[in-house]
Amino acid sequence: MRHFALVTQWEFEAPIDAIWNALYAAGHWPRWWKYVRSVDELQPGDASGVGALRRYTWSSRLPYRLSFEMSSTVVERPHRLDARAAGELTGVGRWSLNQHQTITRVRYDWQVAATRPWMNALAPILAPAFRWNHGQVMAAGGRGLAGYLGVRLLSNS
């Protein structure tokens, strides 16, 4: 299985609580994130959200869709949200947020591997395309979140 370590960084001119609330409310992502087709809550988790289980279905710039489940493992409002993925992607993701004056910085670390046989068979050749695709999906998320909240996106990489 081919593993990928992917990092996305966004900067918004917005309060950290607004960004946190939008990211934490994953069920609303399809409203503002172009490539999120659906988010289905399977389990709510505890009072802080740890143990919440959701099924995500994503489209992409490339002609395929992926579905996988994410289980929240760490919820530290409004700074950190970690989850473990299982399904057509497996791995761990971490949202990290911090605020300096009026700027909120968001970082997403995604340590992931595909479980689809065709993706693994072609990964040695298509790895650059998979990375590019991830970048496009995440950039759309940054733009979509800024529009949804009516805030300024300062950086999207």
How do residues 83-102 score in pLDDT, each as one tens digit?
A: 999 999 999 999 999 999 99
Where are the strands (E) in the chain, listed by range?
A: 3-13, 36-43, 53-58, 66-76, 80-87, 89-100, 103-114, 152-156
Classify residue 143 as exposed, middle or buried by CB count within 10 Å of its CB (0-12, 13-18, 19+).
Answer: middle
Give the type of residue at 76: E
Its pTM stands at 0.95
Closest-CA residue to 29 (of 147, 146, 156, 145): 145
**Torsion of Cα atoms, 63 then 109 then 70 then 3, to 10°:** 60
Give how far Cα 39 sits from Cα of 7, 69, 148, Å: 22, 9, 17
Per-residue pLDDT reduced to its tens digit, 38-78: 999 999 999 999 999 999 999 999 999 999 999 999 999 99
Q: How many CA atoms lie within 13 A of 87 on its CB side?
A: 15
Encoded tokens for 72: 């929240």
Mean pLDDT computed over every residue of the chain: 97
- Percent share of the chain, pLDDT over 90: 96
Identify the band that residue 1 occupies on the pLDDT scale cut at 50, 70 and 90.
confident
